[in-house]
Amino acid sequence: MMKVDIRELPQSVDKLEGVDFIEVEDKKEKKLQGIFISHKLAGEFKRFLEEKKEKEVQEKLEILDRIAGSCRGMFVGKSIQSIKAEMEI
C-alpha cells in the first residue's frame, strides 16, 4: 500500500509501478480522495462489490417479504375508499 498526495499524483506515476493499492489523499485537508487498485486486484474487488450489493438487495427483499407477509389478507374484499378511511384514523 502507498499513500500519495493528490497534488503529487502526476509526478508520482513512475513510483506507482508494481504497487497493488494506492490511497490518494489531500494532505492539506487530511481527506481521503480515493483509491487506485492494480489490475491484479481489480477483478477480485469487482466481485467483492457485486456480492456485497447482491447481499444488500437480498436483505431488503427479505424485509419487504416479511412486511408483505404480515399484511396478507388485511385488504381482501375492501374497497379503496374503506382502506383510505382506515388509514386516516
58 within 8 A of 39, measured Cβ to Cβ: no
Half-sphere exposure of 34 (CA within 13 A, CB side): 5
Which 3 state secondary structure label does DSSP give 77?
coil
Distance of alpha carbon 5 from its chain centroid, rounded?
Answer: 25
Please, what is the end-to-end C-alpha distance for the chain in angstroms? 60
Note the pLDDT tens digit of each residue in 31-86: 888 888 888 888 999 999 999 999 999 999 988 888 777 777 777 778 888 878 87
Residues, the chain: 89
Note the pLDDT tens digit of each residue in 4-41: 776 776 676 677 777 787 888 888 888 888 888 888 88
